[in-house]
Structure 1
Amino acid sequence: MSGSQTGRGKWQWENAVAGAVAGFATVGSMHPLDVVRTRFQVNDGRISHLPTYKNTPHAIFTIARAEGLRGLYAGFYPAVIGSSISWGLYFFFYSRAKQRYHKNRSGELSPGLHLASAAEAGALVCLCTNPVWLVKTRLQLQTPLHQTRPYSSLYDALRTIVKEEGWTALYKGIMPSLFLVSHGAIQFTVYEELRKATVFFKSGRNRNDDADDVLTSLDYAFLGATSKVAAILFTYPFQVIRARLQQRPNSVGIPRYADSWHVLKETARFEGIRGFYKGITANLLKNVPASSITFIVYENVLKMLKSTRPQG
């Protein structure tokens, strides 16, 4: 293997490590809002085992009072595992895709190629991690009102799901998850374009590789938050559809919804357009600052790893 090939491989793993560290930091700081968001998303007013919450603060207070800290951190371990793996794989696949598109081109990639790189990375990550997100969702929806035996751990949840519902159940919600690939694609495209614009604004140079010398953690926080808001507004209904599909079947094994089309029809019929945006306040409160944290950590860890490379 040539020196340049070795360098490219190391660069990809640096992206993976930086992404995994960023994902872990994000989940640890924002998980209670993720629990609240998931419970809002699936509560269509006709499910008996979920309490009714007035708003995000009321939900946090009610969960803390009724279920304690365990309730606010339900599904934390699969969330940590899933987020760390997802971000690590995402940045790894994303950097590889960009590198591949760069081979026969000079200068910066176009927005379309950034979009294609992000979509490719998102689809691969989705196929790898769907079972972990399924378990996270189900653990977050376990309340004292459940009539079925609760899952005691990530392993118990995986074993029980496979035993009671079969291997295919681990991929419930995969279709809206694949549509949600557009979330990452939109976010990374907006991030990259704003990043270039910010570098140009601050330095007068339209070069993305000047970012390390020009951009600060505050800039990365702004870029991460802005790109996240854009992605959430466009793709949030797919998150609601996925969460509703991933609910645990009732005590006799009958799922609440048959497929994505069933969720779409039932939600539109009984709840209207607002039903597709349930929990978006908690989602914004969680993901906008979380995205800022992610990109601050990612860019700074990546900068640190670059500085340790041997020169020459």
Structure 2
Amino acid sequence: MVLAEEKRWRWENAAAGAIAGFTTVASLHPLDVIRTRFQVSDGRGSSVPQYNNTAHAIFSIARYEGVRGLYAGFYPAVFGSTVSWGLYFFFYNRAKQRYSRRRDDQLSPAYHLVSAAEAGALVSLCTNPIWLVKTRLQLQVPANHSRPYSGFYDAMRTILKEEGWLALYRGLGPSLFLVTHGAIQFTVYEELKKAVIYVKRREIKSNSLGGEELLSSFDYATLGAASKVAAMLFTYPYQVIRTRLQQRPSTDGVPKYLHSWHVVKETTRFEGFRGFYKGMTSNLLKNIPAASITFVVYENVLKLIQLTRDGN
């Protein structure tokens, strides 16, 4: 009975996470395209045009590539985000349950950190090919390649044919380092959530209400945004390294960057410390509301699923 309840709990979290991921991507994808293009804009023969700022990038892409340019890589982004968030919440809550005797037990920050890192590593291994294709489609500018990818499946087929299956895992190293992003985000989120619940209980001088009942959508949005900012400040350089590694090779088949350390050396040499924070403005514009949307949708969908289940 307990095992069946735990399995149901995991799948409810996975479903809520998948819906949250889809909603987030559908809302904010153009800013993701802009961030990706800024990240590879190193001023040394970049495959994408140079943009002055986020507003200039939006205007330029819309003018020369149309609305489709702002939604380049949208389908793999939706697919990848839906799968990633679904798997993330599934693995994350499974890990938390494993480290806790009962679901209501209070885990320490260290266990939240380990649970989030474990979930992030597993998701990275499962989804790296999807993100690589998404990145290449977002960087694909008309006339830059002799034969542009026509879509997700064509990109997968072409990469396998021209570069081999290992190419689908370019950037996996930085992606695994990026598990610290999710670990930091979820740990900060959980600890802030506990602190807010504690403060609200003191304000109303009651312990009879459950913690979730005390929090509003605004609380979830604020907590999600605050945890996302904390994670971004520490881990953004890994995103730049990963994006530069995942660029499509030139027509002679030679990648611009050979490995992560090559990216670090070249970026430091030609752009300095600031090079590792290219696209940070559009990243903040995208991810602060994205984190809020994700957690608001996740928490409310999870409540709806549980209410529907309990009602039956």
Could you say which TM-score interval applies, normalised by the shorter chain? Answer: over 0.9
How far off its partner does 1:307 sit? 1.0
Distance in 2, Cα, partners of 1:69 & 1:206: 52
Provide the residue aligned with 1:297 in structure 2: 297
Cα gap change, 1:48/1:172 in structure 2, threshold over 3 Å: closer, same or farther?
closer
Provide the residue aligned with 1:260 in structure 2: 260
Distance in 2, Cα, partners of 1:147 & 1:130: 23
Provide the residue aligned with 2:3 in structure 1: 5
How far off its partner does 1:4 sit? 1.5
Distance in 1, Cα, partners of 2:27 & 2:265: 35
Provide the residue aligned with 2:287 in structure 1: 287
Cα gap change, 1:206/1:286 in structure 2, threshold over 3 Å: closer, same or farther?
farther
Distance in 2, Cα, partners of 1:152 & 1:104: 49
CA contact (8 A) 2:97 2:103 kept: no
SS of the residue corresponding to residue 109 of structure 1 reads: coil
CA contact (8 A) 1:196 1:206 kept: no
How far off its partner does 1:145 sit? 3.9
The farther-off stretch of 98-107 and 75-84 is: 98-107
Cα gap change, 1:220/1:106 in structure 2, threshold over 3 Å: closer, same or farther?
closer
What amino acid does structure 1 have at the position aligned with 2:37?
R
Provide the residue aligned with 2:224 in structure 1: 224
TM-score by length of 1: 0.96
1:171-210 deviation per Cα after TM superposition (whole angstroms, max 9, x unaligned): 0000000000000000000000000000011113898x92
TM-score by length of 2: 0.96
What amino acid does structure 1 have at the position aligned with 2:148?
P
1:2-61 deviation per Cα after TM superposition (whole angstroms, max 9, x unaligned): x21111110100000000000000000000000000000001001253111000000010
Runs of 4+ with >6 A deviation: none
Root-mean-square deviation (CA, aligned residues, Å) is 1.7
1:73-114 deviation per Cα after TM superposition (whole angstroms, max 9, x unaligned): 000000000000000000000000000000289841000000
CA contact (8 A) 1:49 1:145 kept: no
Provide the residue aligned with 1:55 in structure 2: 53
How far off its partner does 1:147 sit? 2.9
Aligned pair 1:241/2:241, yes or no?
yes
Provide the residue aligned with 2:132 in structure 1: 134
Instruction: Determine which of 172, 175, 178 is the counterpart of 2:176.
Output: 178
The 5-angstrom pairing of residues 152-167 of structure 1 reads 152-167=150-165
CA contact (8 A) 1:41 1:279 kept: yes
Instruction: Show structure 1 runs of 5+ residues with no match.
Output: none
How far off its partner does 1:310 sit? 3.7
How far off its partner does 1:309 sit? 2.5
SS of the residue corresponding to residue 276 of structure 2 reads: helix
The farther-off stretch of 211-220 and 81-90 is: 211-220
